[in-house]
Amino acid sequence: MAGAFWCLVEDDRKGQPKKVMAEVLGEATRLGGPVEAVWLTDKASDDGLKQLGAWGAKKVWLLENAGLAPYRGEVWVPPVAELVAKENPKAILAPVTSRQREFMARLAAKLGVGLSADSVALAMNGDALVATRPIYAGKLLSKVTWAKQPWMATLRPNVFKPADSQAGASAGVERLSLTIPGAQMKFVERREEASTGLPELTEAEIVLSGGRGMKGPENYVILEELGGIIGAAVGASRAAVDAGWRPHRFQIGQTGRTISPKLYMGFGVSGAIQHLAGMRTSKIIVAVNKDPEAPIFKIADYGIVGDLFEVVPELTNEFKKLLEK
């Protein structure tokens, strides 16, 4: 409907919305709604549609078409732009993910409106939306406003409060039959990364990060072991990635991934500005480093000055005991 807050659905490619959608839908509700989900997929499940309603969507615009997977901007933009022109939403929100990041930028260009990327706060100021976003390696925050609607913003995962799942709530589903353009881009294949069995870095609630103090690639196994116990992802600092100890996809920081977990624990990480840029919005920060002068202690909530090779095994033991209780 006109004036709605749209939330673009990020799914697991198997018909289920990802849990980050609870954050996006929750924020749209908090901003005043009305809240509607827009889901482009090759396959939506009934469970998934119900889940969107439970998280606060009053309506789901569903575009289900085999041509929509995998994501290609040139295929996704035209039908959504057509729907925007018909429905006049007030705002379009999406989580920061690999495809939404590109899609939202292209859609904003198509619609001729502004986009606030990687927002960490949204608030209404009278009738206008104001977004807050980190800039300059997270050294400053910038408040941004739009010249016109729809206000478009991507939301950093793990920052916004997720909606509680309301079992009774349901969304009306409108299945759309918009024309899907043919693709110039031809999909060849998907190459899966070797799975660590641990959560994805940007989605994890707990992240362990190993820096130069890890001394070598062979030692990350102790972090993976701890990660396995507490359900944490394992990342690395730039120093460790540049030394070739970990593949680049594990890098946390300005030239890597931006994370905002409930709990970040850095081991042998000094806390260079470019690393802080990727993790400083974490809720609780723990630092373990031999060097009491390491800059990471300045932003840490808890610190242990000590040898990570003594601390990590001890942590693994303690958490094992705790979680077995």
Partner 1 sequence: MKILVTIKQVPDTATQVKIGGDGKQIDTAGITWIVSPYDEFAVEEALRIKEKRGQGEVVAVSLGPDRVKEALRSALAMGCDRAIHVNDPALAGADTLTTARVLAAVVKQEAPGLVLCGRQAIDDDMGAVGAQMAEVLGWPCASWIMEETIDGDGKTVKVGRQVEGGLEIFELPLPAVLSAQKGINEPRYPTLKGIMGAKKKEIKDLKASDLGVTAVTPELSISALEALPARPPGRIIPGEVKDSVKELVRALREDAKAI
Q: How far is the CB of 321 from partner 1 (least distance, A)?
A: 9
Nearer to partner 1, 61 or 297 (CB): 297
Nearer to partner 1, 41 or 116 (CB): 116
DSSP string covering 274-324, please? HHHHHHTT-SEEEEEES-TT-THHHH-SEEEES-HHHHHHHHHHHHHHHHH
Q: What are the structure tokens assigned to 15, written together?
A: 């018909």
Stretch that binds partner 1, among 21-29, 36-44, 50-58, 284-292 (CB under 8 A): 284-292
Non-local CB neighbours of 229 within 8 Å, separated by 6+ positions: 316, 319, 320, 323
By CB under 8 A, name the one of 1, 123, 221, 284 that touches partner 1: 284
Footprint of partner 1 on 148-177 (CB under 8 A): 148
Q: What are the structure tokens assigned to 187, written together?
A: 């999909």
Backbone angles phi, psi at 136, to 5 degrees: 50, 60
For residue 47, state whether it binds partner 1 (rule: CB under 8 A).
no
Nearer to partner 1, 37 or 315 (CB): 315
By CB under 8 A, name the one of 108, 173, 252, 269 that touches partner 1: 108
How many angstroms separate the Cα of 219 from the Cα of each of 59, 143, 150, 238?
49, 42, 49, 16
Nearer to partner 1, 35 or 129 (CB): 129
Q: What are the structure tokens assigned to 117, written together?
A: 């990327």
For residue 118, state whether it binds partner 1 (rule: CB under 8 A).
yes
For residue 302, state whether it binds partner 1 (rule: CB under 8 A).
yes
| Residues forming a β-bridge with 248 | none
Footprint of partner 1 on 242-271 (CB under 8 A): 247-249, 251, 254-256, 262-263
For residue 124, state whether it binds partner 1 (rule: CB under 8 A).
no
For residue 77, state whether it binds partner 1 (rule: CB under 8 A).
yes
